[in-house]
Amino acid sequence: MIWASATLHNQMVTTAVIGTDSPIGLTVVRELGERGVDVHAVGKQADAIGGKSRQARRFTVRPYGPLAAWLPQFVARHQIGAVMAVSEQTLAELALLRGKIPNCVIIAPEPEKFALVLDKSATLAAAQDIGMDVPDSWQPRAAQDHRQLAGVLKYPAAIKWSDPVAVIDRLDAAGLPLEKVEYAAGPEALLAILRKYDRLGLWPMVQEYIGGYGFGQMLHMHHGAATLKFQHRRLREWPPSGGISTCCTSVPLTEHAAQMALSEELLRSIGWEGPAMVEYRHDPATGRYVLMEINGRFWGSMPLAYHCGAKFAWETWRCAVGLPGEPPPVLKQRFARYLVPDTKHVIAQLQNGALPAAQRLKLLASFILQFLNPAARYYVWSWKDPRPFLSDVWSIIRKAARRDISVPAPAPQIPPAAGILP
């Protein structure tokens, strides 16, 4: 078993979930707690929303320092029987502790497999080996003539780090932020972005920009086969030029079935076990599915899967501790919103003079009417578990009282021809 270092049969075993400050961590806590798992939530802040959930039996502020420096003692002190993590950086640390903490199931992928999916270049190479469509990419290096190569690329271009976890410490030491993605409309804009990283001697990867919309296929792999599947389409993101999903809708599994089979084949070919989202740009006009990356962790739109009945955290825990299989769930068709960043998206787009007035009005009307749609669900809010939302609102109010809050200026927009959706 790839994701477990031991086998447990007591469903009430205390499980630590590290990274409960986000809607992803909150969803993990809810899924496990609703199935009777004794959840010990761990978050960076005292007001971590996952720690406020009624499904969290206990909460601890994460101790300072590397995971290996405090987790073994934490497990022993609180009699933890299993550990899960949310963020890529924490999951990478947790993977190195597999088999090293007695009587505790470390629910994390093998380090070598995790390193492969973190490295976008390696992921794209694996995808090409099975015939998948991937974007044209260029990894700038010190010995190359960046200006000459920038002059022959297709534009607009997307700039992103091949392995964000591997560079985050070096970026931080240089006082540079980790940008999820940046865009360049032409050679000079690209060179300006690359020059920011000259002093590091390493640069992010440059890819052709792919039109269409964000499309994700989520699978839980166990012993080489998918035990749970789900898929969704992104409707809105923050920032609008590309970032986290703020509004997304489920897509029936009867659609895109051939691509789902390819996603499963890709994960099987690299020996992946556990949850993963295979992320594409899909253009219905051309029929292309272009692979962007594999998220080998719980992903940002996981609350949508939860609300539709696809419980990936529970499936991961169940397989890791050796509980029997279950029938596939009957999935509901819904959409979900991450309300605060979704509101930022709408405000930024309303201020974007490059968008036609009719398109901005349509966006505003859609945003408002979605509150009345019975299929709407939310990343944080739940009638059954309201405290995380109320705590989040109170935290926002307290922060607003300490400083002036202003809406960020709209992010630079990709030309409409590139296919950005509102």
In tens, the pLDDT along 60-73 reads: 999 999 999 999 99
**Closest CA relative to residue 283, chosen from 254, 259, 247:** 259
Quickly state the pLDDT bin for 403 (edges 50, 70, 90).
low
* CA nearest neighbour of 422 among 236, 224, 222, 253: 236
> Cα–Cα distances in Å, from 309 out to 36, 174, 247?
17, 44, 18
Can you tell me the mean pLDDT for 311-339? Answer: 95
Render pLDDT for 174-205 as a digit per residue (tens, 0 to 9): 999 988 889 999 999 999 999 999 999 999 99
**Closest CA relative to residue 243, chosen from 288, 301, 188, 176:** 301
Alpha-carbon span 114 to 305, nearest angstrom: 22
pLDDT at 416: 37
Q: Which two tokens stand for residue 343?
A: 């509101």
Residue entry with tokens 């707690």: 33
SS3 5: coil
Selected residue with higher pLDDT from 389 and 4:
389
Cβ-contact 212, 201 below 8 angstroms: no
> Is the pLDDT reported for residue 15 higher than 70?
yes
The C-alpha atoms of residue 61 and residue 154 are separated, in whole angstroms, by 47
CA angle 282, 304, 35 (to 5 degrees): 140
Cα 411 from Cα 235, distance rounded (Å):
17
State yes or no: pLDDT of 3 exceeds 60: no
**CA 331 to CA 402: how far, in whole Å?**
43
Q: Which of 5, 152, 173 is nearest to 84 (CA)?
A: 5
* Greater model confidence, 13 or 96: 96
Q: Please name the residues in contact with 381: beta carbons below 8 A apart, sequence gap of 6 or more.
A: 339, 389
Q: What is the pTM of this model?
A: 0.88
Judged by average pLDDT, the poorest of 120-134, 267-281, 342-356, 394-408 is 394-408
> How does strand 225-238 pair with strand 82-85?
unpaired
**pLDDT band at 415; cut points 50, 70, 90:** very low
Q: How far is CA 415 from CA 137, 205, 349, 418, in A?
A: 20, 21, 14, 6
Amino acid, single-letter form, for residue 54: R
Of residues 168 and 268, which shows the higher confidence score? Answer: 268
Query: What are the residues whose beta carbons fall under 8 Å from the beta carbon of 141, sequence distance 6 or more?
Result: 203
User: Where is average pLDDT lowest: 43-47, 83-87, 372-376, 410-414?
Assistant: 410-414
SS3 assignment, position 85: strand
Which residue is it, tokens 């279950």? 326
- What is the arithmetic mean of pLDDT over 25-46? 97
What are the boundaries of each domain within the chain?
A: 14-109, 136-208, 211-335, 339-418
> Which residues of 102-224 form beta strands (DSSP E)?
105-106, 137-138, 157-160, 182-184, 205-208, 213-222
CB-count burial class (<10 Å; 0-12, 13-18, 19+) for 72: middle
Select from 2, 7, 323, 53 the least CA-distant residue to 17. Answer: 53
Q: Which CATH superfamily is domain 211-335 in?
A: ATP-grasp fold, B domain (3.30.470.20)
CA–CA distance, 233 with 250 (Å, rounded to integer): 6
Q: Which of 7-16, 39-48, 218-227 has the lowest mean pLDDT?
A: 7-16
For the cut 50, the answer to whether the pLDDT of residue 42 exceeds it is yes
Q: How far is residue 244 CA from its own chain's centroid?
A: 7
Same fold, 14-109 and 211-335: no
How does residue 210 score in pLDDT terms, banded at 50, 70 and 90? confident
With b meaning 16 or more CB within 10 Å and e meaning fewer, what string describes 73-110? ebbeeeebbbbbbbbbbbbbbbbebbeebeebbbbbbb
Tell me the per-residue pLDDT of 254-310, one tens digit each, with 9 for 90 and over.
999 999 999 999 999 999 999 999 999 999 999 999 999 999 999 999 999 999 999
CA nearest neighbour of 39 among 51, 21, 23, 48: 51
The length of the chain, given as a count of residues:
422
Say how far apart CA 229 and CA 267 lie, in whole Å.
Answer: 13
Residue 39 has pLDDT above 90, yes or no: yes
For residues 227 and 325, is the Cβ–Cβ distance under 8 A? Answer: yes
Please say if the pLDDT value at position 19 is more than 90: yes
Q: What is the pLDDT of residue 420?
A: 33
Residue 256, both tokens: 């895109």
User: Which pLDDT does position 419 carry in this prediction?
Assistant: 33
Mean pLDDT over all residues of the chain? 90
| Class at the top of the CATH hierarchy for domain 14-109 | alpha beta
φ, ψ of residue 415 in degrees (nearest 5): -50, 145
pLDDT for the residue 147: 92
